[in-house]
Amino acid sequence: MDQSVVEKQIKEEIIKVTKRKIETKEINSNTDLWKDLEMDSIQIVQLMLELEKRFNIIFEDEDLEDDVIINYGKLSHIIINKVAMN
């Protein structure tokens, strides 16, 4: 799967979970899911579950560190790598 396709799908899942009226272009590698998108811990967990289903991946414990899962750039990097390994 092409990296740009994966990134677009990740952004779509983020928007779906946040239920905010934002566009995919508003989410970039520096976007903080907590601060910028005001996601709460339940939404973060829901997002992780949705991403696992959508990309047929499993997040390992080390993938779920706070500084990784709340930053779009770091999160997308992990997912892109996992998708490439499938």
pLDDT tens, residue by residue, 14-28:
999 998 899 999 999
Answer yes or no: is pLDDT of 66 > 80. no
Cα–Cα distance for residue pair 2/40, rounded to 1 Å: 30
Is residue 75 classed exposed, middle or buried when 0-12, 13-18 and 19+ CB atoms within 10 A define those classes?
Answer: buried
Please give the mean pLDDT across all residues of the chain: 94
Confidence of residue 69 (pLDDT cuts 50, 70, 90): confident
Cα–Cα distance for residue pair 11/17, rounded to 1 Å: 10
The alpha carbon torsion through 69, 72, 77, 79 (nearest 10 deg) reads: 60
Instruction: Give mean pLDDT, residues 64-78.
Output: 89
Position 1 scores a pLDDT of: 81
Residue 5: both structure tokens together: 């396709």
Q: How many domains does the chain have?
A: 1
Answer yes or no: is pLDDT of 61 > 80. yes
Residues 28, 32, 36, 39: is their CA dihedral positive or negative?
positive
CATH number where 7 lies: 1.10.1200.10
Position 84 scores a pLDDT of: 94
**Full domain range(s) for residue 55:** 3-85
